Amino acid sequence: MQKDDCETVRQIVAATGLFRVGEIDVAVELVQARLDKGAASGYEFVFAEQKGETIGYICFGKNTLTVSSFDVYWIAVEPSKQGQGIGQLLLEEAERQIAAASGARIYIETSHRSDYQATRGFYERCGYTLAAVLDDFYAPGDSKATYFKVIDTLAQPSA
């Protein structure tokens, strides 16, 4: 992690066109918290690089109110690099690190808006199950969908 990761994350998250300004600020705040406090921030990052350029990242961490649940706080891939499996590689690396940290469940919260349909399809293809929808959570007409995956299925792959 380095200082210019803040700007890199801001650019990638903004480029997706999916987030409000306030949401982009929160994404950058998580990078700054990691830079300021290190692992004590509770935020883990994995970056995807291609030819020396950062083209995507995932941010996750243990939910400190839980015994063994982890949250994926953010995942984003530069739009011109989407559809190449980079998001899946990022998510799988996060899952490996969460399994190694004895995580039992992974939660991902995302929008239920129609322009997030590809995002939700991505999580479903990656083995995540829709657990709840909170109506109008993010804004009127912008509900929150919560997906989860049980880590047992990662530690014990089917034969």
Q: Report the interface residues with its own copies, using CB under 8 A.
A: 20, 22-23, 25-26, 64-69, 104-105, 107, 131-140, 142, 146, 148
Which residue bears the tokens 């919560």?
146
CA–CA gap between residue 148 and residue 151 (Å, rounded) = 9
Provide the minimum distance between the beta carbon of 39 and its own copies in the complex, in angstroms, as a whole number.
16
Provide the minimum distance between the beta carbon of 5 and its own copies in the complex, in angstroms, as a whole number.
20
**Residue among 4 and 136 whose Cβ is closer to its own copies:** 136
**Residue among 23 and 92 whose Cβ is closer to its own copies:** 23
**Residue among 15 and 42 whose Cβ is closer to its own copies:** 42
Which residue bears the tokens 């993010």?
138
Provide the minimum distance between the beta carbon of 13 and its own copies in the complex, in angstroms, as a whole number.
12
**Residue among 57 and 107 whose Cβ is closer to its own copies:** 107
For 141, other C-beta atoms within 10 Å of its C-beta total 9
N-term to C-term CA, the chain: 38
DSSP notation for 15-79: HTS-S-HHHHHHHHHHHHHHHHHGGGG--EEEEEEETTEEEEEEEEEE-TTSSSEEEEEEEEE-G
Provide the minimum distance between the beta carbon of 139 and its own copies in the complex, in angstroms, as a whole number.
4
**Residue among 47 and 137 whose Cβ is closer to its own copies:** 137
Provide the minimum distance between the beta carbon of 142 and its own copies in the complex, in angstroms, as a whole number.
8
